[in-house]
Amino acid sequence: MAKIKKIGVLTSGGDAPGMNAAIRAVTRTGIYNRLKVIGIRHGYEGMINGHFKELKAHSVSDIIQKGGTILKTARSKTFRTIEGRKQAYEKLKAEGMDAVVVIGGDGTLTGARKFSEEFDIPFVGIPGTIDNDIYGTDYTIGYDTALNTVVEAIDKIRDTASSHNRLFFIEVMGRDAGFIAYRSGIACGAEAILIPEIKGQVEGLKDFLEKGFKRRKSANIIIVSEGDESGGAFSIAKKVKKDFVDYDVRVSILGHMQRGGTPSAYDRVTASLFGHAAVQALMDDQKSVMVGMDNGEISHCTFNKAIKKNKTLDVEKMDIAEILSI
């Protein structure tokens, strides 16, 4: 591999708190190693359209504490085509970029893998998604902050639920994975947690609520992952209301508030470590790999493994939630 002199960095897909910390780390690690760093705005779409701007050390000052991403993000249908990727390649070559660091989730890594298979510019990935569903890393950027956001919201909802003897269904993000629902449910003492990994939970929920109703619990908090097979919090609440007419049932959808906010200290540190490691990986002639965290240590996982293998929640741990909710 030719000596790398200029690298690009982009964020793609859904934003996650801590992405700015990763951009900062990539930029300053690159500059420290005498590389030019180019910010690519609006993800792969910006790569296709040549939305490039050189980043200096001062360009990333005062961003480590900010949510979102200063480089903006977008989903690109054009990049999914060979014509779009070829156009992006031509823009990168014209700019003289030798390598690219991409920050994002499964879709972002999929695009990077496809591009790397077709063209000779090495890509290294950084896992950035609040869902924490990327194989090859214990944590993804944004997950810890999203959890704290959810926990704070649920704590406030429990206050009003207790005051009015209400049953609250709270929907959190996690279309395909229940990591947010599981950990926030444990942290908040939820009475039940419904996740995509376990089928048929609604019937069991009815039996559980019957026992809780007989014990006259002052409040019940049910956490629902948005990808639950039963159709989400509103649909489940409607079904339960038919069987428990004496319950005052309410639904709260936390939605995109989970993506925003100041990143936690853990996310800032993790993102900084990932950004530094990504540049080091490129300088070590690595490509088509994602940096990650394995038992507190920086690790590397090929794009193929990160994308093709599923990171699954250990459903046996759900017994803990049931035991602690009695």
Taking a C-beta distance cutoff of 8 angstroms, is the pair 311, 135 a contact? yes
Rounded average pLDDT over 69-79: 94
Residue 108 pLDDT more than 80?
yes
Candidate from 75-89, 174-188, 265-279 with smallest mean pLDDT: 174-188
Residue 276 pLDDT more than 80?
yes
Split at pLDDT 50, 70, 90, the class of 204 is confident
- The per-residue pLDDT for range 288-325, each reduced to its tens digit, is 999 999 999 999 999 999 999 989 888 777 788 778 87
Rounded average pLDDT over 211-232: 71
Tell me the percentage of the chain whose pLDDT exceeds 90. 70
Backbone angles phi, psi at 250, to 5 degrees: -130, 155
* pLDDT at res. 111: 96
Residue 54 pLDDT more than 60?
yes
Rounded average pLDDT over 6-28: 97
C-alpha span between 62 and 265 (Å, rounded): 15
* pLDDT at res. 27: 98
* pLDDT at res. 228: 62
Residue 212 pLDDT more than 70?
no
Domains 6-142+263-308 and 143-259 share a fold: yes
- Name the residue with higher pLDDT: 197 or 266: 266
131 is catalytic: yes
- The per-residue pLDDT for range 126-152, each reduced to its tens digit, is 999 999 999 999 999 999 999 999 999
Query: Has domain 6-142+263-308 been given CATH number 3.60.150.10?
Result: no
**Smallest Cα–Cα separation from 48: which of 104, 117, 122, 111?**
111
**Smallest Cα–Cα separation from 60: which of 24, 30, 112?**
24
229 by Cβ neighbours in 10 Å (0-12 / 13-18 / 19+) ranks as: middle
- Name the residue with higher pLDDT: 31 or 241: 31
CATH pick for 143-259 out of 3.10.450.50, 3.40.50.460, 3.40.50.1400, 3.50.50.60: 3.40.50.460
Catalytic-labelled residue, pool 106, 131, 133, 228: 131
**Smallest Cα–Cα separation from 99: which of 316, 298, 283?**
283
**Smallest Cα–Cα separation from 262: which of 19, 17, 7, 25?**
17
Mean pLDDT of the chain: 91
* Residue ranges per structural domain of the chain: 6-142+263-308, 143-259
